[in-house]
Amino acid sequence: MKVSIAGFKELSLIDVHGHTSFTLWFCGCNLMCPFCHNWRLAMNDPEVCREEDVDEIISMLSVSSPLVEYLHITGGEPLLQLEPLIDLYVKSKSIGVLNSLNTNLTMPTQLEALLSQNLIEHLATDLKIPFPEMSGLGSLSERPWAHFMQSLNVLKKYRVVVELRIPVAKNITLKYLRDYLNKVGDFISDLWGVYVVVNPLIGAPMLSPRNPAWAEQYCNPDVSEVEEVARVVKEVLGVKVYTKKWW
């Protein structure tokens, strides 16, 4: 079976918080996040994306398996390629590797199809605040946001550790933070296991985001702003909060 990917990293220390992973980037995405630095693979750019055989990926994973805890599949949006995604997870389990998925949670039907097979132990997702702005969908964001909430409801039924990531945009995230945390709070409290990672958004020159003008205005928030986001999250949700730092 073939899958469209942009690449992989045999040993990553940063993609699953506190754990090692073999990280694989799927191509294709259904969002248009202005801060995205993987936007070329999200758009299936043929200069970045290629077809790879699932069994070949598993062969490479097996070489790394003594050093990694998870096969972490990210993107893009991996649930757009559900069949090869499931195939990879089934085969990674057969060689004793745990599975992790990074998804935007806007595809609840596909998510449940995956979770119902008990194939993943860890899931990472962004809580994009505010969603219309951060998803890049603007007035078209209402339905994807409803699907995000529906996916949180799906997750409550399964024993999966959830890494809820909050990307911090300068002068935006804090303004809407409490409102969004209140919207998702009841869903978060019902998850089997959850922790939050607060991520300051990084722009040029370190990364090349989809929308350079947007990134220049809203990326690279002050340290105090990032720390305040972390404080409010811990206060409202009452879960363990980690802060990724670039300063």
Give residues with Cβ within 8 angstroms of 231, minimum separation 6: none
In whole angstroms, give the CA distance from residue 147 to residue 114: 16
> Per residue in 18-29, pLDDT tens?
999 999 999 999
Residue type, 212: P
pLDDT at 241: 98
Taking each helix axis from N to C end, the angle separating 223-237 and 173-189, rounded to the nearest 10 degrees, works out to 30
Q: Tell which residue, 17, 14, 2, has the closest CA to residue 195.
A: 17
In whole angstroms, give the CA distance from residue 19 to residue 22: 10
In whole angstroms, give the CA distance from residue 212 to residue 201: 13
Domain ranges of the chain: 2-243
Q: What is the pTM of this model?
A: 0.96
> Per residue in 66-76, pLDDT tens?
999 999 999 99
Residues 206, 212, 217, 219, CA torsion sign = negative
For 2-243, CATH gives 3.20.20.70
